[in-house]
Every structure is written in C-alpha cells, then in structure tokens.
Structure 1
Amino acid sequence: MKSNAKDSEKLSTEGSLSKPMPYFVFLVFLVCIFYAVAFVYHPYSYTANPHQSEFVQFEIPSRPKPKSPDKTNLSHIVFGVAASGKQWSKRKSYIQQWWRPNETRGFVWLDEKVEAGADEKNLPPLKISGDTSQFKYNNSEGDRSAIRISRIISETLRLGMEDVRWFVMGDDDTVFFPDNLVRVLQKYDHNYYYYIGSLSESHLQNIHFSYNMAYGGGGIAISYPLAKALEKMQDMCIQRYPHLYGSDDRIQACMAELGVPLTIEKGFHQYDVYGNVFGLLAAHPIAPLVSLHHLDLVEPIFPNMNRVQALEQLKLPSEHDSAGLMQQSICYDQDRRWTISVSWGYTVQIFRGTIYAREMERPSRTFYNWYPKAGYTGYPFNTRPVNLKRCQKPFVYFISNATYNSQIDKTVTEYSSHRIPRMRCSWIKADPSQIDRVEVYKKPNPYLWDKPPRRNCCRILPSKNNGTMVIEVGDCKEDEIIVLR
C-alpha cells in the first residue's frame, strides 16, 4: 500500500510537469519582453495619459545659442589725437569739423599746456603726455616728440575707460569721418588682435619706412586686446629703436615683435603729396572714406575757399549719405558721346569722347609727389596724366548743395560749373560748356559696405533744361556694365 501511494504521488507530479504551458501565460510573457526591450532601446516612452494611445518622442533640451554681440558703434571707439601746443590755435579747427560732443570719446594729447578758448567745449578733453626724457632718441632728422606720440594709445588705455573696443589715433591736422570709421571697424572682431590703417601715397616713403606700417597721420586703429598687449611691452620696445624717425614706425616695430601684421583699409588717407588732391578724391578707391590728412600741406579741396570752409562744404552731403561720400561712378551720355564721372558729394566731370572705365578709375595726376624728383613713377598705385589737349580737358562741376527728398527717398545733390578759361576746340562733337549745372539723384544706403564692394552705376536722365544735366546714381542692375554702346 505504501509503495503504491508513493508511486501514485510520483506519477501525479510528473504528469503535471509534462503538461504544456497554457497559451495565455506564454502570450503575457512575450508582451512583457516586447515592452521591456522597447523601453530600453527605443527613444520613445509610453504615455501615462489613458486617453492617449500614441507614443510621444522625448525632447532633448538644446543649449541656448549665445547672443551675438551688438555691432560696434561710435561709443565703442576712443580717439587719441596727437597735437602740438604751438599749432593748437590753428589746427583745432580741423578737429571741430568731425568731433561730435556727447557722441565721440577720446582726448587730445599735447606736449604742453595751452590756454583754453571758449570754443573748446566742443572739442575733446585736453591731456598732457607723460614725460619721455628717459627714452633714447638719436635720429638726427626727426624729433623726439615721436616717442611721446607713439605712447598715446598706451596712455589712453591706462585711463581705464569702460566699454572700449577700439583705440584710434591720428594727428591734429587729420579729419575723420566717424560713421565710415565705424563701418570699417564693424567688419572685424574686436576680441582679436587687429592693427588697421593704410600706407603712404609715396612709394619711396613706404620703402624708407615700411610697407607693413600704418601711417599715423592717416589714422591707426588698434583693437582693445592688442592695445593691452602693446601697453605691457611698449616702453621696453621703444628703447630698442632709438634710431627710428617717427611715432608710427615705432608702433609698427612693436607690432612686429607682437607678430601682428597690418590690415590695410584704403579709406585711411595719409596724403603724402603736395598740391591739388582733386585727382585722388575724384577717383576715390571703392572703400569708405575714413580720413584725410596733411590738410595744411595740400590745397583746399574746393576752389575759392579756405581749408576749413572747404571741409564744411563737404559736410553737406556727408550728413545725408556718409557711406556714399566720394564714391566714383562712371557712365556715358550715349547721344552726345560724353564720358561722365561722378564723385558723389564732391564733383562731376564731363569729358568729350570716350574714356574707358579702366582709365577713369585711375587718379589723374593733379598732385605732386612727396619726393618731387620721383615723378609719377613714385606712386604705389596707378595714375593717369592730366589731359593737356584742349578738347580733352574735363568740364568740372563742384557740389553746391545737398538735400533729401522724402517723397522719392533720394538725396538730391547739385553741382555748379567751375568756369576756367578755355581755348576753342575744333572737334565736331557736342560742347559740354552749355551745361551750367548737374543734378544727381541717389538713394541713401547706410548698408552699402555690408556687401562685397562694387562701384555704383550712373545713368543719364532726360532733362527739361538744356543747361542742366540730370543723373541717377545707384546699384548696378543685373548685367549692367560701364560701356559706351
């Protein structure tokens, strides 16, 4: 009986193990495995909302994009103007042409105290440069004031001004165009080392000093981090170059030791020339006009005016469209076979016959070389001779007025004939002498230099008055080229 009971119990147990697993248990097992795998390996989670039967994707939070810094504006620039006490009463009038009280920041650095005049409230604050008697200077042709001037940026930095991105230095006979200076500096990241300026108009000057040097009279712009680096080492650097002539070559020597090259911007003008700079201004490079230097050495830029009056005349158009100031456009009067050159805000020239754009964009040699014996071969840029033949001399018109017409959203600049004695021309061509006045219509474009540089185009418009030529200046149209058909 006992053995039968054990056998019966064993059979019962084995029988229960040998039976197949129920189907629903196996199904539940597979479903659990599926969801476990889906949860681990799939980037989705099942929603906890009982009314929502779809999968919702996890949103991975992205890093916030860094805010782009504000564009450089005039308040970010600090000027350091090198001045002489002996010249101050005369040259401060140049600074008054471009300084904007409550907008521009900076100082005039003098070698001695001067008597303050009533008009100096509209000028930068005056500072006296630090003593430089401990520095060696042994250039027999120069002046040791060059050491003082070379330290202007470092001395300005030590004043601890806030929110500075750029230091710009120039001379007391330099006129800046602040809005265009801002446009140039906006192209560069002020957080890096930048040494910006331009060369001399004299090849021999560049050979003698350096083709790697920004000429200080035309203006030098140095970014804030580079100014800090310069200030730390400049005094030691200056001691290594007692033989150098000026301030700007001392700055360049320190830049060489810092390993920072010159970034050339063609709108800074040193103007190492003599005489009449008309040819240079009438064929200005395709770049913003930033500065004009050596105003005491060249003739007034407008005839029948003194130097200060001429600069005031140039302010008329610059207040309406500073970006387009001095920009040359070239076009042709197809019917009368005339070549037209517009230096916007300055002058219009009419030539009989056809002069190709390649020639017109070269400055005519109305000026003299810094080294007279060098002649026209002494320029580091292309020039063309002044037309001496009676029929090829241009008819010149200088700006007389500038206004803005809000109805058509365009500036209207007027140019009056500059009458000079002329010999009779025998060409059987239309005579430009009948034109007394030129009107130029142009839409202001403060963002002109935010795009790749290109010369504006000009077009001759119909005129109801035979004595007036009407011209439109603006962006070139698609497929428009400068050619006489």
Structure 2
Amino acid sequence: MKDNPKDPENLYSTWTFPKVTICFLLLISFSYISYSMKFLHPYLCTQQSQSLNFQSHFSTPQSADPNPPTSQEHKTNISHIVFGIAASADLWHHRKNYIKLWWRPDQMRGHVWLDQPVKTDPKSNHTLLPPFKISGDTSGFNYTNPKGHHSAIRISRIVSESFRLGMKNVRWFVLGDDDTVFVTENLVRVLQKYDHNQFYYIGGSSESHLQNIKFSYNMAYGGGGIAISYSLAKALEKMQDSCIQRYPDLYGSDDRLQACMAEIGVPLTREKGFHQFDVYGSLFGLLAAHPIAPLVSLHHLDVVEPIFPDMDRIHALQRLEAPTKLDSAGLAQQSICYDINRSWTISVSWGYAVQIFQGISSAREMELPLRTFLNWYKRADHTAYTFNTASVNRHACQVPFVYYLSNAFYNRTTNQTTTEYVQHQTRMPECNWKMANPSRIHKVQVHKSSDAHLWDKAPRRNCCRVFRPDSKKKGTLVIEVGVCHEDEVVKVW
C-alpha cells in the first residue's frame, strides 16, 4: 500500500540524515562560488575592456584621411565635387566661353589644367572662370602612338594631380574638356546615387560603334565627362604613373585612364546623360529624343552645329539657361501625346523643342532619334551607331513641323513653369493628305510642374496632354506635361 503524499508524517520521514547533510554541503558550495565571482568580475570586465580597446586601436589608420567616412552623411552636393578641366593654351581664347556658361565660382571647386601659361585680357572678368594650374612635366613618359599627341599623358594625370592638392571634404573628381558644358544640377543628381567611399568610375561611351570598337566599350569618354569617386582617386594616384609607363602605345588620355582602371579592377558604370557626341551635323535628333535619363553633359560643341538655328554656338547654348534654372531635372526630357481630332502626333523635348507630325505614330517610333547627324566616321551608315535611329527621309507629309524654345518663365498663378516654342521658318514639302495642317500653328505653349525629385524615382517618361483649342489663342497649341496619371499610357487608339 502506497504512502499518502499529503500526510505530514510521511513527508518528514523521507528526510533522512544523509539527505540533509548533502543539501547543507550544496548550499555552502553555492555561497562560496558567488563570493568568488565578486572578486573575479572586475578582472573580467577589465580584460574585456582591454580587448575592445585593442581592436579599436588596431583598426585606426595611421594617417588622418581628409575625407573620413561617416555613418550619417548628408547628400552629395556641388561643394563635394572637384572639377578638372583639360585645356590647351592654343584653344583657350575661345573655348573659355563654354566654361563660363556653366561655371559658378561661388559654388564650385576645381581648376583648368593647361600645358603652359596663357595671356589674360585685363578687360575680361577672370573671376567667372576656374583658377589655372599648369600640368606637371611629362617629358619623362614614353609615348609611341603615331597618330596621337604626347599631351594625352598630361591630361590623363589631371585626376591624380587634383588629388595631390589635398582639398578637404571631396567626394568626387569630375573630368571634362574645355569644350564640354555640364548641367551641374543633373551631375549632382547622378552622383547622389553612388557611395563615394566605394570605387566608382562613371561616364558614357561614344555614340559611334566604330569608336568603341577602336578604343573600348569599357572606357568612359573624357570629353563627355568622367566622374571618379574619392576612394578610387586615392587608389589611382598611388599607381597611375607606373601604370602610364606600361601603355606608351595608347592614343588618348581616356584610354590610358581606363587601362589603369582595368588594373585596379574597376569597371565602367554607364550613365546615359554623359554625352561624348562623336557626331557631325545637327544634334537636334539626339536632343529631341533624349534618353530617359538626366542630361548631364554636352561635348564636341566646336564640331557640331549650334543647337538652335540662326545663332552662334555660345548664344544658342545660353538659351538653355532659363529652362535649366526653372527645372533642370526635366531639361530635354521627351514626352509623347496625340491630338486625335486633328490626327497629329506631338513630341515635346521640354526646354528645347516641340515637333508636330501629321498622322499617328507609335511611341516606339517616336522615341527613336531622327538622323539629323552624321557618324564620326563619315563613310559609316546608320548601322554604325550604338543605338537605334530613324530616317529623316520620310514621306513628304511625315516631315515634322519644328518649334524651338523662345521663352521660359514661372507662372505664379498656376504654380507651373511655362515654356513657349515658335515655329522654325523653313519651307515644308507639299502634302496632299486630307487632314489639319500644322502650318497654322505658330506657337506651342507648354505648362509643366517642376519635379526636383524626378530622378529619385524609377525612370519613366512624363506624359503630355493637348488642351482643346482656345478661340482666343488662334495659332497657339497648348500642352500640359507632367507625371503620368494612374493607368495612363501613350497609345495610338
């Protein structure tokens, strides 16, 4: 028969003398261990602290970095960029005018790197230009390319020489030529996407397939602009001179730079807004159907025609200043829409030009640049570009009516920008299509809300909408451009 566990006598009887003794000894042992830990605890804490201090000391660099990384850094702005502009004394007299178009001496840092000192005109205001630097002597470097020039070595070293100036709070070094115009607001937008503490080599390829084959598809073309992160410039500066010695047969400065990048192991990060413009003729087709990317740079401005007709190159580029100040993010961005009642297809390159086509064309067709330009290799045909193009030799009724920017301002009443475009006076071929003729439209007015954060979102072309004709504005086509509405698409019907 089992004992009743609830009986006090039975419970007491189970606690024999040996059991009591064991419990007493365990209690004493526990007390002794606790008492010992009080003495050991400070020692253990000290050892842990010494270990942490050792690790911290071990990871600290011996020399102070003028650009130490921080855990919470502000967004990159124009003050974080140092420009290195490649120039020559022979061409400086007129090419300095390109730099004046975009340089802001109170906001920007950088230098024009020359091969020799230049004479300055006392009447000219040189505070509108970056300060001059004379490049270091490169006569000791071997150059064997029979078609190039030894100055390519000098120009390729601009980033290293800029780094050695020891300027503070630098995140990016941006290289360009003296015939390059930057849209600096968009340059900043592009660089904000990347971590300057990492190795980045950013730029664009040539528009000519043959140029890229001859040099490299992995190369950033220097005239279109090259952005190099501070960390990469630091690594490059240590090895560039010895690297240059290994490539005496290369042609230019940008392919020498890319050869060193290959040795470091850094690939080209392509950005579509850096434009080398290895073309001849008119840039109209390229700017009227710009890629869906911020416009960052324009190069070879001495080679191509002025971007606006009946103007010289400098004054034509100055016309872009007003829309750039109003909405730099939207500059030259294409929008496509239809005037169904009149069977027109309309393409807006905001801040630059508007085209009206008779008939209805798909968005797929309209996003192709018209071949108003020629390949860098003049004998090459349209298959020698790195992108798809459209022929300008269309049916007489499909030749576009073109309207160029004439005015740009901010409308406080509507809280929108207003840009106006006037018809380019040129003889149009006769068209026998039975539809409304765009020749009656003398002006196009475009209303648009600025969007400084346009490129913080996934890339998408803006939509445009044609307003009903206003009887009070005869001869004027009014369009609105803006973010596409939900489920809004550019469809033919």
**TM-score normalised by structure 1 residue count:** 0.86
User: Which one of 93, 97, 101 corresponds to residue 93 of structure 1?
Assistant: 97
Q: How does 1:320-469 map to 2 (within 5 A)?
A: 320-464=326-470, 465-469=473-477
- Say whether residues 1:138 and 2:120 are aligned partners: no
Look up the equivalent residue of 1:98 and give its one-letter code: W
What code does the residue aligned with 1:170 have? Answer: G
Match among 147, 157, 163 for residue 163 of structure 2: 157
Residue 68 of structure 1: aligned partner: 72
Distance 1:168 1:462 in 2: 46
Q: Following the alignment from structure 2 to structure 1, what is the Cα–Cα distance between the partners of residues 387 and 289?
A: 12
Contact 2:409–2:419 at 8 Å: present in 1 too? yes
Shift of 1:245: 0.1
Structure 2 distance, partners of 1:303, 1:388, is 22
Partner of 2:37: none
1:247-262 matches, cutoff 5 A: 247-262=253-268
Residues of 1 paired with 2:233 and 2:412: CA distance? Answer: 43
The CA deviation at 1:116 is 2.0
Structure 1 residue 388, shift from structure 2 partner? 3.6
Residue 40 of structure 1: aligned partner: none
Q: Would you say 1:78 and 2:82 are equivalent positions? A: yes
| Aligned residue identity for 1:424 | E
Calculate percent identity across the aligned residue pairs.
Answer: 65
Per the alignment, in what secondary structure is the counterpart of residue 397 of structure 2?
A: coil
From 467, 478, 481, the counterpart of 2:486: 478
Q: Which runs of 5+ in 1 are unaligned?
A: 1-14, 22-65
Aligned equivalent of 1:311, options 313, 317, 330: 317
Aligned with 2:216 (options 202, 210, 218): 210
**Which stretch of the first structure deviates more once superposed, 373-382 or 237-246?**
373-382
Match for residue 189 of structure 1 among 169, 190, 195: 195
Map of 2:120 onto structure 1: 116
Distance in 2 separating the partners of 1:244 and 1:313: 39
Moved more, 443-452 or 67-76: 67-76
- Quote the Cα distance in structure 1 between the aligned partners of 2:158 and 2:312: 30
RMSD: 1.6
Closer/same/farther in 2, CA of residues 148 and 67 from structure 1, 3 Å limit: closer
In structure 1, what is the Cα distance between the partners aligned to 2:364 and 2:244? 44
> Offset at 1:115?
1.2
Q: Map 1:15-30 onto structure 2 (within 5 A).
A: none
Structure 2 contact 210–384 (Cα < 8 Å) conserved = yes
Q: Could you tell me the TM-score, scaled by structure 2's length?
A: 0.85
Aligned equivalents of 1:112, 1:463: Cα separation in 2 = 60
Residue 199 in structure 1 maps to residue 209 in structure 2: no
Q: Distance in 1 between matches of 2:245 and 2:469?
A: 66
For residue 182 of structure 2, the aligned residue among 176, 186, 193 is 176
User: 1:142-190: per-residue Cα shift (whole Å, max 9, x none)?
Assistant: 0010000000000000001000000000000000000000000000011
Matched position secondary structure for 1:351 = strand
Cα distance in structure 2, aligned partners of 1:305 and 1:373? 28
The verdict on how the C-alpha distance between 1:391 and 1:20 changes in structure 2, with shifts beyond 3 A counting, is closer
1:284-303 equivalence runs, <5 A: 284-303=290-309
Aligned residues: 427
- How many Å separate the matches in 2 of 1:251 and 1:18? 92
CA distance in 1: counterparts of 2:310 and 2:415, whole angstroms: 32
Query: Tell me, what secondary structure is at the counterpart of 2:111?
Result: strand
Greater Rg over alpha carbons, structure: 1
**CA separation in 1, counterparts of 2:142 and 2:164?**
23
- Which residue in the other structure is 2:110 paired with? 106
1:71 is matched by which residue type in structure 2? K
Q: CA deviation at 1:374?
A: 1.3
Q: Distance in 2 between matches of 1:279 and 1:434?
A: 24
State the distance in 2 between where 1:142 and 1:78 align: 28
CA distance in 2: counterparts of 1:76 and 1:467, whole angstroms: 48
**1:423 CA displacement:** 2.9
* Secondary structure of residue in 2 paired with 1:89: helix
C-alpha displacement of 1:256: 0.1
Distance 2:361 2:492 in 1: 9
Kindly state the Cα deviation for residue 407 of structure 1 after the two structures are TM-superposed: 2.4
Contact 2:361–2:492 (8 Å) recurs in 1: no
Residue type of the alignment partner of 1:477: H
Question: What do residues 317-352 of structure 1 show as CA deviations (whole Å, max 9, x unaligned)?
Answer: 101000000000000001101000000000000000
Query: Structure 1 residue 20: deviation in Å?
Result: 13
Letter in 2 for 1:399: L
* Cα pair distance change 1:18/1:288, threshold 3 Å: closer
**What SS is found at the alignment partner of 1:310?**
helix
What displacement does 1:455 show?
0.4
Give the distance between the partners of 2:14 and 2:289, measured in 1 at CA: 101
1:46 — aligned with what?
A: none
- C-alpha distance in structure 2 between counterparts of 1:18 and 1:114, whole Å: 111
Counterpart residue identity of residue 208, structure 2: S
